Structure 1
Amino acid sequence: MFRASVYVRLGDGATTRFWTDSWLPQGAICNFAPHLYRAISRHHRRATVQESLHNRRWVRDITGEPTTPVPCYYIRVWEAVEDIQLNQLEADRFVWRWTANREYLASSAYCSFFIGMTSLRGAKEVWGAAVPPKVKFFFWLALHGRLWTAERRRRHGLQDEANYALCDQADESSDHLLASCVFSREVWFRLLRLAGLQHLAQGSYAVLVDWWLRTRLEVLSQFRRGFDSVVLLVAWEVWKERKRRNFQGGRLSPPQLVQRIIDKAAAWIGAGF
């Protein structure tokens, strides 16, 4: 009964999934009453709703260990199905719950995959930027907070300290590393000053995605895609400088890193980016 409830039609023409969502306030029985569901053998779970409701067969199908939650869920399911009457004169049919007319559409099936999902701020701009794919992926991880910074490594118990190699003034998080660190801010200021946009430089408590999406609106529309590319390039080179100091023993000053970014931008342009 319980697994079949997702597919089998009940009474007034609704599918069983529609029935469970209508009468059981928390969805399918396997989710609504998990302990009771596990007390049903796999063979009995294949029974249809009609078979299970006939003479209350579903009660006899409960053969598992009667743990404490089982009677509680049993009572709730009993109350939900006790007054249901099947219409024997109407044939079963499938209905599609994601459209108003209950008819299947491929577009609605695709859209149903995204129900309950939240969009990532800046994702559209990241994948539209004219930069190499590896840089897009790196920045996408940064927006998710999934870079293996010292702060994240400490959170996962991989190291004891979260000190930041570039400034040693705060824990090394993605936002601090790429936006609010004094080293990163000096690099940004020097680069923006070359274009007369130094007033757009971020503050000491900047959040990367907030600063980026707000600042790009102050850039002329025809230059925004290029500005996005510069943002990703700077973030990428700051991350590489962090790796250089942590693992290679090298060290570039902010002016040296700015020149490196300018050279890299010229190389990207020559490569078609």
Structure 2
Amino acid sequence: MFPIKTCSVVESLFSVAVISEVGDGTRTLFWKDRWLHGKSIKEIAPLVYDKVPKRKANTRLVSDALAGLRWTADIEGALSFRARTEYYALFELIEAVVLQPDRPDVHIWKLSSSGQYMAQSAYAALFQGATLFEPAERVWKSWDPGNCHFFMWLVQHNRCWTADRLAKRGLSHPVRCPLCDQHDETINHLLIPCVFSRQFWFQILSRVGLQELAPQPEDLDLEDWWRVRSSQVVQQHRKGFNSLVILGAWSLWKHRNRCVFDGASPSLPAVLLAAKEETTWWCLAGAKGLPSLQPLGPAE
């Protein structure tokens, strides 16, 4: 019925969301679609269905199956007593089916009032109860290298190996934030409230005239700050701003790692230079939004 390859979850959704009304039987799968009194053969006779090879279940149409009782030849192997009971009941139901050559099959989408398939209803059913990853659009739709996409995903899920996470697992960790040496280290502290990081954000945003958007002492959460500040940038430059935020966070993380693993000392000029060089490489690689930030102010 649907000539596309789907994952098992999507296939399961369609199997329960669609009911088929058979006319000529040329557009309905005999073994898999819900065409027999609103049910599939798998629901009516599961033990019989288990004896049908997948290649036949995925291709046998109702019109073919009923011609000369071909469906009975699809069943391979001996049937148990319970399976034979299902088989006889199934046989009686199928024997009563009469095809209508002048009427095409009709497939009814149960998730919409019209009975017509709607992508919105399928999406809502498929992701019902799913946890929304709120910053997904800013992370995945901004231009940045794949490793930075993954890094920002780790940041948003608190999966970076900062001191707090290392301590929980009894692993060696910095006593204080390696950049400011004033507070316990968490990924959120490292990227926003840290006094070193706040200076970095002010400087890097000043380069593009967006210093007013730099984190303030009351900004304690990266996601909250990023969401609010991104909305304050005019639409045509928002992707560039989001790329710059990711680049800045990535630069701070790499500088932190040099301090922890290479014994380097925190240096604002060094991390700003590294971020400048990174910006050049990103622009050359395709970050079209970054050059458009030269220079801008926040949206009115």
Shorter chain as normaliser: what TM range? Answer: 0.5 to 0.7
Please state whether the residue corresponding to 1:180 is helix, strand or coil.
coil
Contact 1:98 1:112 in 2 (8 A): no
Which residue of the partner structure matches residue 155 of structure 2? 142
Q: CA deviation at 1:110?
A: 5.9
Normalised by the length of structure 2, the TM-score is 0.56
Shift of 1:194: 2.6
Instruction: Report the Cα offset of residue 100 of structure 1.
Output: 4.7
Q: Cα distance 1:116–1:242, how it changes in 2: closer, same or farther (>3 A)?
A: same
Instruction: State yes or no: 1:240 paired with 2:254.
Output: yes
CA RMSD of aligned residues (A): 4.5
Partner in structure 2 of residue 194 of structure 1: 207
**Aligned pair 1:254/2:261, yes or no?**
no
Give the 3-state SS of the residue equivalent to 2:183 in structure 1.
coil
Specify whether residues 220 and 101 from structure 1 end up closer, same or farther in structure 2 by C-alpha distance, changes over 3 A only.
Answer: closer
Q: Which of 111, 116, 122 pairs up with 1:99?
A: 111
Question: What is the deviation of 1:101?
Answer: 6.5
Indicate the residue corresponding to 2:69 in structure 1: none
1:212 to 226, 251, 255: 226
CA pair 98-150 structure 1, distance change in 2 beyond 3 A:
farther
Listed one character per residue, the Cα deviations across residues 222-268 of structure 1 (whole Å, up to 9, x for unaligned) are 21111111101110010001110110112341123112211221122
Residue 201 (structure 2) pairs with residue 184 (structure 1): no
- Residue by residue over 1:83-103, the C-alpha shift from the partner in whole angstroms, topping out at 9 and shown as x without a partner, is xxxxxx999xxx999625697
User: For 1:114-173, what per-residue CA distance to the aligned partner results, in whole angstroms no more than 9, with x for missing partners?
Assistant: 221021121111111121111111112111211111111222333476632111222221
Q: Which runs of 5+ in 2 are unaligned?
A: 1-15, 17-33, 44-81, 87-91, 95-106, 288-300
Which one of 117, 130, 155 corresponds to residue 117 of structure 1? 130
TM-score by length of 1: 0.61
Question: How far apart, CA to CA, are the structure 1 residues paired with 2:173 and 2:271?
Answer: 29
Percentage of matched positions with identical amino acids: 38
**Alignment coverage as a number of residue pairs:** 212
- TM-superposed deviation, 1:191: 1.6
In structure 1, C-alpha distance between the alignment counterparts of 2:244 and 2:251, rounded to whole Å? 10
- 1:231 matches 2:245: yes
Structure 1 residue 269, shift from structure 2 partner = 1.1
Tell me what 1:172 maps to.
Answer: 185
The CA deviation string for residues 18-57 of structure 1, in whole angstroms up to 9 with x for no partner, is: 9xxxxxxxxxxxxxxxxxxxxxxxxxxxx79x99xxxxxx
Taking the aligned partners of 1:103 and 1:170, their CA distance within structure 2 comes to 59
| Structure 1 residues 102 and 115: alpha-carbon distance in aligned structure 2, compared to 1, 3 A threshold | farther
Q: Distance in 1 between matches of 2:275 and 2:174?
A: 30
Q: Where does structure 1 differ by over 3 angstroms across 4 or more consecutive aligned residues?
A: 12-15, 95-98, 100-113, 159-162
Measure the CA separation in 2 of the matches of 1:127 and 1:178: 19
